[in-house]
Structure 1
Amino acid sequence: MDRVIVYPGSVPMDTDLLRSGVYAKEGIGRLSEMLFGQGAVSARGLVCTPSASGLSVTIGPGSIVAPGVVDATPFGGAGGGLAADPTLLACQYINPQLQTVAVSSTGATLTVFAVCSERDIDPAVLPFYNAANPTQTQAGVGNAGGNLPTCRTGSLSFVIGTSAPAAPSGGAVVALYTFTVAAGVSTLAGVVPTAGRVFWPTIPELATMTLLQAATTPMALASSSGSLTVPAWASRVELRAIGGGGGGSTSNAMTPADGSFSGSGGGAGGDAWGLYAVNPATGTLTLTIGAGGGQQETGGATVVSYGGATLLQAGGGAGGAFYSSQGSAGGDGGTASGGTIWNLTGGYGGDGQSGVGTFSGNGGNGPWGGGGRCGNIGGKDATAYGAGGGGAYSASANGTTSPGGAGYQGCVLYRFLP
């Protein structure tokens, strides 16, 4: 951090004081970049309270750290001062008191935007040195009595709309809250704003959260495709992906000698497990959950991607099938890739028929069991994530089809970590 040096007896310059302010701003800015990351935005306070009696919201006191520049315009003046400095820097902008902002439209989802800018304020008539008469001072430059601003402040104003306003020169626009206003209403009673991801926890909050998250958070279950938002406090995510189980094989004969009597079981889905780095500013995790396979069908693959790249993938188990009129081999287990802890191939489905000999064509068990049992005139469906369906044996009459059991869908287990 830079600091101004002065010496006894030297003539003080306006730039000595101006540079002290600039150096302080730069020091706070660089420290903010170390804490939040270069280009990051952080907000604190600025509580949004919708009006229960009209169409407006009140924004409370608070502050924002956002990208800006050292000085977009010359700092100081009246024959001296510092030139504008476009060096990029994390800057602090403050809202010292309540501000009420009107909502101009209804029937829309609106966003509260904070406009971060610097401006010169607090004008005053300043005394100036009179070289012609050192015993007297002049009122303003040239004794003209004119006002000059005495403070450069990083300030916040607020705009509500469906799109962001233009950013001021050297400043930024930050989305703080979103809320939906029904068409034709006259008040915002019942409206609940949703805070954006710029409201980071404080260091004491983060330290407490770190211990709690590391010690107590169990893995959560995702059983449908979608996305996961990375919390502001998270730096890692633990993921376990299970592929869908394969379906069991059908049968269409009454006895082994008649032909396709005993179907095989479907294979279980693959199992990939790992730990991965994440960044709250990068985006969301995308989950694709593999479906369970129908009779004699392969289960779907379960995939987790992040930032456009696949993190880990668990393939679906293969369906049981007859490879000949009197031969039915159990489905292979699904493969897995991308795991940093393990990549396990799913269990095989049980074989069914081999000539006139028959075996138990049960479905392969998933990580929590649940493989479908082979069944008379219909295999049993799997009952746990990633498990394979059971094969069918026998039929009500030769040539009729007894269905194989369905495989069970895959899933993703996850937990975010500090």
Structure 2
Amino acid sequence: MDRATVYNGEELIETDILNGNKFAMIGLAKLAQAVLGTAPVLQGLACTPGTGLTAAIAAGQVYQMAAVDATPYSSLGVDSRQVLKQGILADPIAVPVPAPGTAGKSINYLVQVQFQEVDTGALVLPFYNASNPAIPYSGPGGLGTSSMTIRSGKCAVQVKAGAMASTGSQVTPTPDAGWIGAYSVQVDYGMTTVPAPNIAPVAGAPFLTLALPQAAPLSQVQNNGLCYAVDAGAANAYAAAYSPAVTVLTDGMVLEFKAANANTGTATFSPDGLAVKAIIGGAHAPLQGGEIVAGGEVELMWHATLNSWVLLGCTGGALQVGAATQSRHAVSLSQVLSLVGGMNSLSYFMGQL
């Protein structure tokens, strides 16, 4: 990281201070980029029902790539190099989400976020008066004009309304260019407040769910504490709560749980209250019963294309396999039965072994 150098007896100039600020900001930005990467990240900014038809946004930050200085920074010129900048929302705010005026209609609002850099703190500053050093100028050249004293990195929050539509068919709008989608808020005709279940993060919202102070120690990685939980559902309807909570399903995500009950047929799974989705076997077919046993350790993988959880295995449970097509493939029971001509033939065949 660069540091400005000054000397004893030197006549200090403004660029010494400005460069000190700039170099420190770049150093912090590069550190944040090394930890978070270059994609946008949201931290904090919880969205909850506000007073009346408003959504309350808690304090938080946005991290987004931006120019070091898109406009001149006092005596320093434009610097178009891109770094990861931090925008801060220091205090909670409330954003309006009005209800539609037509019965049977609903509107989905998008809460979107963006890093913005704003020059603030306008003051009329004293400037050196070469003709009479004892009496400073009021503003540049003595004109009494104000100067900005702070360059602020802000977390801007904005609400974008979707098209009004029949309840259940309304669509959340997409973020505007340069903005980051954070939450979808559904407001129905006749509502006077927003119910908490009507507020949800939009798919792909880049919230930082695990900060460094809460990062797992090596022991938690070794004991699989991040992806393992105990089943809290019922037979054929499995559910589990993880820490940190799963907020969105990602293709290839693998989760594990200890089953409380065996399955007797088709089954579903819901982590942390997310939408209930089917569990299918390794052959991508519905479960038939006995693939999950009570007390078994279950491993599932989310398959986005199939919109299902694929059962990778359960200790003590039967394993679903696809039809064998090669000499060293495992065969299913149905294939064996078809080859030996039915159960009687199978019994005879087994008796000859």
TM-score by length of 1: 0.54
SS of aligned partner of 2:216: helix
Amino acid of the residue matched to residue 82 of structure 1?
A: L
Closer/same/farther in 2, CA of residues 237 and 37 from structure 1, 3 Å limit = farther
Deviation per CA, 1:157-206: give whole Å up to 9, x if none: 32112335645xxxx42222222211342322445422334233111222
CA contact (8 A) 1:43 1:200 kept: no
| Separation in structure 1 between the aligned mates of residue 213 and residue 143 of structure 2, nearest angstrom | 53
**2:151 is aligned with 1:133:** no
| Separation in structure 1 between the aligned mates of residue 307 and residue 229 of structure 2, nearest angstrom | 17
Deviation per CA, 1:196-228: give whole Å up to 9, x if none: 3423311122225981684344599999xxxx8
CA contact (8 A) 1:179 1:191 kept: no
CA contact (8 A) 1:49 1:57 kept: yes
TM-score by length of 2: 0.63
- Give the CA deviation at 1:241: 6.2
SS of aligned partner of 2:181: strand
**Contiguous gaps of at least 5 residues in structure 1:** 246-274, 279-283, 291-301, 305-313, 318-332, 337-342, 363-418
Closer/same/farther in 2, CA of residues 353 and 159 from structure 1, 3 Å limit = closer
Query: In structure 1, what is the equivalent of residue 35 of structure 2?
Result: 35
Query: In structure 2, what is the equivalent of residue 408 of structure 1?
Result: none
Deviation per CA, 1:33-62: give whole Å up to 9, x if none: 111112x222222222322x5211222222
SS of aligned partner of 1:149: coil
Closer/same/farther in 2, CA of residues 213 and 285 from structure 1, 3 Å limit = farther
Query: In structure 1, what is the equivalent of residue 52 of structure 2?
Result: 54
| Separation in structure 2 between the aligned mates of residue 28 and residue 286 of structure 1, nearest angstrom | 37
SS of aligned partner of 2:31: helix
| Separation in structure 1 between the aligned mates of residue 175 and residue 79 of structure 2, nearest angstrom | 24
CA contact (8 A) 1:112 1:175 kept: yes
Q: Which has the higher helix share?
A: 2
Deviation per CA, 1:71-123: give whole Å up to 9, x if none: 111111xxxx1111121111000011122211145412222112320010011
Query: In structure 2, what is the equivalent of residue 211 of structure 1?
Result: 220
| Separation in structure 2 between the aligned mates of residue 49 and residue 289 of structure 1, nearest angstrom | 29
Closer/same/farther in 2, CA of residues 142 and 174 from structure 1, 3 Å limit = same
**2:82 is aligned with 1:88:** yes
CA contact (8 A) 2:122 2:149 kept: yes
Instruction: Name the Cα RMSD after superposition.
Output: 4.0
Deviation per CA, 1:10-55: give whole Å up to 9, x if none: 22221211111111211111111111112x222222222322x521
User: Which one has a bigger Cα radius of gyration?
Assistant: 1
Tell me which moved more, 209-218 or 344-353. 209-218
**2:340 is aligned with 1:352:** yes
| Separation in structure 2 between the aligned mates of residue 101 and residue 202 of structure 1, nearest angstrom | 27
Closer/same/farther in 2, CA of residues 215 and 108 from structure 1, 3 Å limit = same
Deviation per CA, 1:235-262: give whole Å up to 9, x if none: 97489961168xxxxxxxxxxxxxxxxx
Closer/same/farther in 2, CA of residues 164 and 49 from structure 1, 3 Å limit = same
| Separation in structure 2 between the aligned mates of residue 165 and residue 242 of structure 1, nearest angstrom | 38
| Separation in structure 1 between the aligned mates of residue 219 and residue 118 of structure 2, nearest angstrom | 39
Query: In structure 2, what is the equivalent of residue 327 of structure 1?
Result: none
SS of aligned partner of 1:349: helix
| Separation in structure 1 between the aligned mates of residue 198 and residue 307 of structure 2, nearest angstrom | 32
Query: In structure 2, what is the equivalent of residue 113 of structure 1?
Result: 112
Closer/same/farther in 2, CA of residues 137 and 28 from structure 1, 3 Å limit = same
| Separation in structure 2 between the aligned mates of residue 344 and residue 108 of structure 1, nearest angstrom | 53
CA contact (8 A) 2:54 2:95 kept: yes
| Separation in structure 2 between the aligned mates of residue 200 and residue 148 of structure 1, nearest angstrom | 40
CA contact (8 A) 1:229 1:285 kept: no
CA contact (8 A) 2:228 2:255 kept: no
Task: State how 1:219-230 maps to structure 2 within 5 Å.
Answer: 229-230=249-250
**2:200 is aligned with 1:194:** yes
CA contact (8 A) 1:114 1:176 kept: yes
CA contact (8 A) 2:99 2:188 kept: no
| Separation in structure 2 between the aligned mates of residue 155 and residue 83 of structure 1, nearest angstrom | 21
| Separation in structure 2 between the aligned mates of residue 141 and residue 185 of structure 1, nearest angstrom | 55
SS of aligned partner of 1:142: helix
Alignment counterpart, residue 99 of structure 1, candidates 93, 98, 104: 93
SS of aligned partner of 2:121: strand
- Give the CA deviation at 1:135: 2.2
Identity of aligned residues (%): 24
